[in-house]
Structure 1
Amino acid sequence: MYRAAKRFLNTFKRKSNTDKRLITAIETIVGSKPLNLYLYRLATLHSSVANVDNRGYKESNERLEYLGDAILGAAIADYLFKKYPFKDEGFLTEIRSRIVNRESLNTLGKRIGLDSIIQYDKNHSSKLSHKSLYGDTLEALVGAVYLDRGFSFCKSFIIEKLIIPYFDIQNIVESDVNFKSKLIEWAQKENHSIEFEIIHIKTEGRHKEFTAEVTVSEEKKGQGYGFSKKKAEQDAAKKTLQLLGLIEKE
């Protein structure tokens, strides 16, 4: 027992300061030291600073991000399925989407401290990739935890360390503000025509950012942005309602 502990301490001492900081950060975020540190190094490595290996493969966190996205969705689906046994598929899908949307994951990534361990090119990071940086890394971290510890541990990490401390699920359920429906109802009541149009799509890698515009009785009003058409239209509807004085500006 003593020899094993001594070997571990010696191994830790030989690690670089960067690795030591990463180990401390992972232990703080996940609740346990990493078994395979390489996975976590990779999870925090953005493609903007990744090197090409001798096989011509550029190692970054993108593959882990893909895996983590699926694991995160599955864990939250399981949690909501058990928490709301009498709710239908539409309700469960909507609540899950509010938790795992890009904006929500970016905010969560920053709140748990990923900004201190992400490696990326700060000088050449585009606006779009910067917007998705923390959410992407969070998904990659989930992928790393899954490979390092297995699904059961990873699911507990997601629910107990990410969802329960940082999301008020009941508030999410009750705050059902559909700005688009609200605007359409107003337009019908006031006899105005209304149109929603996606006027621009910006693509970088597997991410897309949509720009939506609302036209009320042939007059262009609010423009909105989002990582899906639905989010962009909701944002445009919200800004239009604000321009019309129907809701207060934040």
Structure 2
Amino acid sequence: MSSPRTVTFGSVIFVSLLAVYAFLALGSGMDRLSAQDPSRASLVPEILSAQAAQAEAALALAQSDYRGAESHAIRALQASPREPRVLGLLASAQLLRGDTWAAHRGFSVARSGGWRDPVTQSYWANDQLSRGKPQEAIRHLEALLRAQPYLAAGEQLLLAIAQDQSARTALLERLKTHEPLATAVFAVEGTDLSSAVALRGELLLDPQMETQPYGCAIAGSVIEGLAERQMSDRADAVAAQHCPI
């Protein structure tokens, strides 16, 4: 097994897991009810009990209670040992409390089935980026964008890739040859972040893209987004290169 590297998540773990907590709050409440009144335990099916433990783990992470999060995640794993998101929760708690080896092992197991888990995808994308393997990082970015295109995790990974010169070059080459990825990256209707729109404008104006105009179907969303945010000069430049009237 390869050794773990330091991986920076920013706010992605908290954003992703708070969403999990909100989704699973009902399960957590029912699980507490069964603990207070054992006679009602039959009302809480196994899957809901696992979801409740996931919710508790997510909440503990948001509160910076990493040991508590690890404990809840272990309980969730016992109830649902094949769920990749549970493995991602456990590995996240271990990573945030400083146990990088345990986290790396957990994410290694989660990777085989965690293609829809943004935390697992983020870990491996950053890991591959830090090892000088931009193509692998981009592959994880693609998987993340397919599963949840407007999640903060995807935006943070795209920014990290764009700021690494070798990764940026690889990304631009991939964008030119893989239309589904280009469509996902340059769709900005679901974001309110001006920085996200500006980044995509910057990518479209990169000298590496001069020989490949995308057309209005792909670039149009970015052009409109730039214009709406008073970045008219950049919008005009993108339009002239990719969507001339």
- Shared fold per TM-score greater than 0.5: no
Q: Going by fraction, where is strand more abundant, 1 or 2?
A: 1
The two structures have a TM-score, normalised by structure 2, of: 0.23
Q: Greater Rg, structure 1 or structure 2? A: 1
The two structures have a TM-score, normalised by structure 1, of: 0.22
